[in-house]
């Protein structure tokens, strides 16, 4: 045993820490095409009671006198542009959406006064290009016409005229009076403001549950009961993630004097898969195309929020959006071995696309890589995550209990986030930077994982950080509270070192000289109890997000849209693990099987 005192100082002299993440566009899958017809639909992601009110108004409006509505959307060159028009009726507050796939449309429509928000579909992404007052009478048609200058010249794309990434042109924001430099300030949308309090100013690891349901969704508990239960569980932060609604975060009981409450929702559909959206400043929309979904993801990030793929291999809800930029993947949902694996028949035809007999998409490869019964859905999700890492994804991991009643404990598993402070902004930033690891519970294993570039005895980066290629790197791992289990190092999804954990604070030091892109992470495992029910041969007790080896270049920064150079100097601290004994075996044991 070698006595090693691991201390934490100012970092990133030779490496950058990543904000946001990038995947490989080859994973893009196309959802069902809903375009091609003019349709009027209720705006998505609304409270259930509001949706019911909208339905009642829609039925009542059929009896109203009808007039004519003419829509024409083109650029200054006369080229018709596919469009979408959102209407707000001043008389009864009814919200309608009209798709104009050919750029021109003439329909019968209820008379009245409206505010019209006109969006051009830029490669499937709806960009707000105009806002107009509209009046329809029985004798005078309502006219909506756009002759769009922005983007017509070809020198700068349409979204180049949107400074804050909120998918609304600066010109329109200035016209309506919203802030073109604030992604949460968007014409026609309500901006949410969240609790700005800082509960702890210390930079350290904080733990929380990032996937919980209330009675606004599939849960049985009120928001007040859930918050009280989370406080008793000793969590530092907490998110209620009901499907396609932010009702829980708007509930008056959504408040705590000791715990950060993250406004959040579960976004998506069972057919295409769901994501966990944290900290959106406006209500996320449900898009009809992959490009629109990607734009919504980027808008949430521009607002300071985080977009995390939820349980990608959960049976009945496979992830098939195929986005290229996300902030994280939920690789651990409920108990590790509890959820059965998913089979290829549960994926759509697009996800099962093959070339030369090989599956092209990571989600299908993860499902097909093992026989049914060999791994749980969480095991498959980790394969999916590793495959995406190899293809270029840079995103952290999360976990969540999925609790919807007191019968399911909160914080099992629990997500640890390394944050500069305990606040909504601090936790969201930590998630976006990939500074996360997941443990079986608040009493589960604790992990320290750092890297020393050039092996000069100074820690340079921690979890979520990047080390350069073609340089010797010394990695150090320390695990607390995992006696009797095994510590395993994983490189690009493959185990490379495994040691038994024989002491309260056990560690390993290993060197690598990466010459190509790599992702290094660690986990704590043990053989599954043969008497317990579940799927897969291993029990996982903790696992981390990676430390990356990358060629730090302009392309790397471009692929991470939230990168902030001011965040590249970060201090990593953990008072519980500042002085530990690191056990360094003479010879590394053979990796265990089953990953």
Does residue 480 sit within a domain?
Answer: yes
C-alpha angle 475-476-481 in degrees, rounded to nearest 5: 145
The whole model's pTM is what?
A: 0.84
pLDDT of residue 353: 94
5 and 102 within one domain: no
pLDDT at 19 over 90: no
Look at 72-76, 104-108, 149-153, 263-267 and tell me which has the smallest mean pLDDT: 149-153
How far, in Å, CA of 334 to CA of 519, rounded? 25
489 and 567 within one domain: yes
Tell me the DSSP string of 388-407.
HHHTT---EEEEE--B-STT
Strand pairing class (264-269; 273-278): antiparallel
- Of 176, 209, 242, which residue constitutes the final position of a domain? 176
Does residue 159 sit within a domain?
Answer: yes
pLDDT of residue 304: 94
Tally the C-alpha atoms within 13 A of residue 366's C-alpha that lie toward its C-beta. 35
Phi and psi (nearest 5°) for 474? -100, 120
Contact 63, 111 (CB under 8 A): no
Does residue 362 sit within a domain?
Answer: no
Structure tokens at 535: 């799927």
Q: For residue 524, which of 548, 508, 513 has the smallest C-alpha distance?
A: 508
501 and 587 within one domain: yes
Structure tokens at 546: 């990676």
Give the helix ranges, DSSP H, for 210-278.
223-232, 247-250
Contact 15, 467 (CB under 8 A): yes
pLDDT of residue 373: 63
Task: Taking residues 74-93, report their average pLDDT.
Answer: 95
Structure tokens at 256: 């705590």
Task: Taking residues 551-562, report their average pLDDT.
Answer: 58
595 and 450 within one domain: yes
2 and 131 within one domain: no
Does residue 593 sit within a domain?
Answer: yes
Structure tokens at 464: 């979520």
Question: Residue 73 maps to which CATH number?
Answer: 2.60.40.1120
Contact 288, 307 (CB under 8 A): no
- Of 176, 194, 209, which residue constitutes the final position of a domain? 176
pLDDT band at 570 (very low <50, low <70, confident <90, very high): very low
Contact 417, 432 (CB under 8 A): no
Question: 480-537, pLDDT tens digit by residue?
Answer: 999 999 999 999 999 999 999 999 899 999 999 999 999 999 999 999 998 899 999 9
pLDDT of residue 134: 97
Does residue 107 sit within a domain?
Answer: yes
pLDDT band at 155 (very low <50, low <70, confident <90, very high): confident
581 and 490 within one domain: yes
Report cis status (omega within 30 of 0) of the bond before 413.
Answer: yes
456 and 593 within one domain: yes
Question: CB burial class (10 A; 0-12, 13-18, 19+) of residue 246?
Answer: buried
Does residue 511 sit within a domain?
Answer: yes
pLDDT of residue 591: 30
Between 32 and 94, residue with greater pLDDT? 94
C-alpha angle 542-548-550 in degrees, rounded to nearest 5: 170
Strand pairing class (396-400; 328-333): parallel
How far, in Å, CA of 388 to CA of 281, rounded? 28
How far, in Å, CA of 386 to CA of 519, rounded? 9
Does residue 76 sit within a domain?
Answer: yes
pLDDT of residue 442: 96
Count CB-CB contacts under 10 A for residue 92. 14
| Alpha-carbon distances of 385 from 9, 16, 367, 395, 540, rounded to whole Å | 30, 22, 12, 9, 16
Question: Residue 1 maps to which CATH number?
Answer: 2.60.40.10
Between 379 and 29, residue with greater pLDDT? 379
213 forms bridges with which residues in the sheet?
Answer: none
pLDDT of residue 6: 32
Task: Taking residues 373-385, report their average pLDDT.
Answer: 92
pLDDT of residue 95: 92
Q: 């080859």: which residue's tokens?
A: 26
Tell me the DSSP string of 454-478.
TTSS---EETTBEEESSS-EEEEEE
pLDDT of residue 325: 85
Contact 12, 18 (CB under 8 A): no
- Give me the number of domains the chain comprises: 2
DSSP character at residue 131? E
- Of 176, 198, 220, which residue constitutes the final position of a domain? 176
| Alpha-carbon distances of 95 from 24, 118, 245, 372, 521, rounded to whole Å | 37, 13, 17, 46, 48
Q: For residue 347, which of 318, 310, 385, 376 has the smallest C-alpha distance?
A: 318
Determine the structural domain holding residue 146 and report its residue range.
Answer: 64-176
pLDDT band at 47 (very low <50, low <70, confident <90, very high): low
594 and 450 within one domain: yes
Q: For residue 129, which of 152, 153, 112 has the smallest C-alpha distance?
A: 152
583 and 460 within one domain: yes
How far, in Å, CA of 122 to CA of 286, rounded? 16
How far, in Å, CA of 256 to CA of 232, rounded? 12
451 and 592 within one domain: yes
Does residue 457 sit within a domain?
Answer: yes
DSSP H or E segment with residue 170: helix 170-176
Distance, CA of 503 to chain centre: 36
121 and 15 within one domain: no
Percent of the chain predicted with pLDDT > 90: 72
How far, in Å, CA of 32 to CA of 125, rounded? 16
Averaged pLDDT of the chain: 85
567 and 472 within one domain: yes
């Amino acid at each position: 045993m070698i006595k090693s005192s691991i201390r934490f100082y100012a970092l990133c002299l030779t490496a950058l820490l990543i904000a946001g993440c990038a995947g490989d566009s080859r994973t893009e899958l196309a959802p069902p095409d809903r375009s091609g017809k003019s349709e009027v639909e209720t705006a998505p992601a609304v409270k259930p009671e509001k949706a019911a009110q909208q339905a009642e108004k829609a039925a009542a409006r059929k009896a109203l006198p009808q007039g004519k509505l003419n829509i024409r959307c083109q650029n200054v060159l006369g080229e018709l542009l596919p469009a979408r028009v959102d209407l707000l009726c001043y008389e009864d507050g009814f919200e309608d959406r009209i798709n104009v796939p050919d750029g021109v449309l003439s329909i019968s429509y209820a008379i009245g006064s409206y505010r019209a928000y006109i969006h051009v579909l830029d490669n499937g992404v709806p960009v707000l290009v105009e806002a107009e007052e509209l009046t329809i009478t029985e004798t005078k048609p309502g006219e909506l016409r756009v002759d769009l200058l922005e983007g017509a010249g070809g020198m700068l794309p349409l979204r180049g005229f949107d400074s804050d990434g909120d998918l609304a042109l600066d010109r329109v924001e200035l016209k309506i009076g919203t802030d073109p430099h604030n992604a949460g300030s968007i014409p026609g949308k309500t901006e949410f403001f969240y609790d700005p309090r800082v509960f702890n100013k210390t930079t350290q690891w904080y733990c929380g549950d990032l996937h919980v349901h209330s009675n606004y969704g599939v849960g049985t508990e009120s928001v007040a009961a859930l918050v009280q239960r989370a406080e008793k569980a000793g969590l530092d932060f907490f998110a209620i993630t009901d499907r396609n609604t932010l009702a829980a975060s708007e509930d008056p009981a959504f408040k705590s004097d000791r715990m950060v409450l993250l406004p959040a929702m579960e976004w998506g559909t069972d057919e295409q898969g769901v994501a966990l959206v944290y900290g959106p400043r406006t209500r996320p929309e449900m898009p009809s195309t992959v490009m629109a979904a990607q734009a919504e993801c980027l808008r949430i990030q521009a607002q300071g929020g985080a977009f995390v793929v939820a349980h990608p291999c959960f049976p009945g809800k496979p992830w098939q959006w195929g986005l290229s930029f996300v902030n994280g993947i939920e690789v651990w949902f409920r108990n590790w071995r509890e959820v059965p694996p998913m089979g290829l028949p549960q994926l759509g035809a697009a996800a099962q696309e093959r070339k030369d007999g090989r599956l092209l998409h990571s989600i299908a490869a993860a499902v097909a890589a093992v026989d049914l019964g060999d791994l749980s859905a969480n095991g498959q999700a980790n394969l999916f995550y590793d495959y995406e890492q190899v293809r270029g994804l840079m995103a952290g991991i999360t976990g969540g209990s999925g609790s919807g009643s007191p019968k399911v404990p909160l914080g099992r598993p629990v997500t640890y986030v390394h944050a500069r402070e305990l606040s909504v902004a601090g936790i969201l930033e930590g998630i976006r930077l990939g500074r996360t690891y997941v443990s079986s519970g608040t009493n589960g294993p604790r992990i320290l994982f750092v890297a020393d570039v050039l092996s000069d005895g100074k820690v340079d980066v921690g979890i979520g950080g990047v080390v350069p290629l073609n340089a010797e790197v010394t990695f150090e791992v320390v695990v607390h509270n995992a006696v009797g289990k095994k510590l395993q190092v994983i490189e690009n999804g493959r185990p490379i070192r495994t040691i038994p954990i024989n002491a309260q604070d056990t560690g390993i030091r290993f060197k690598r000289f990466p010459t190509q892109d790599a992702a290094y992470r660690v986990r704590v495992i043990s053989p599954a109890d043969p008497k317990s029910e579940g799927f897969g041969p291993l029990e996982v007790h903790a696992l981390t997000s990676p430390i990356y080896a990358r060629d730090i270049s302009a392309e790397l920064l471009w692929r991470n849209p939230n990168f902030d150079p001011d965040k590249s100097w970060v201090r990593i601290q953990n008072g519980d693990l500042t002085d530990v004994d690191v056990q360094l075996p003479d010879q590394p044991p053979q990796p265990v099987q089953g990953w």
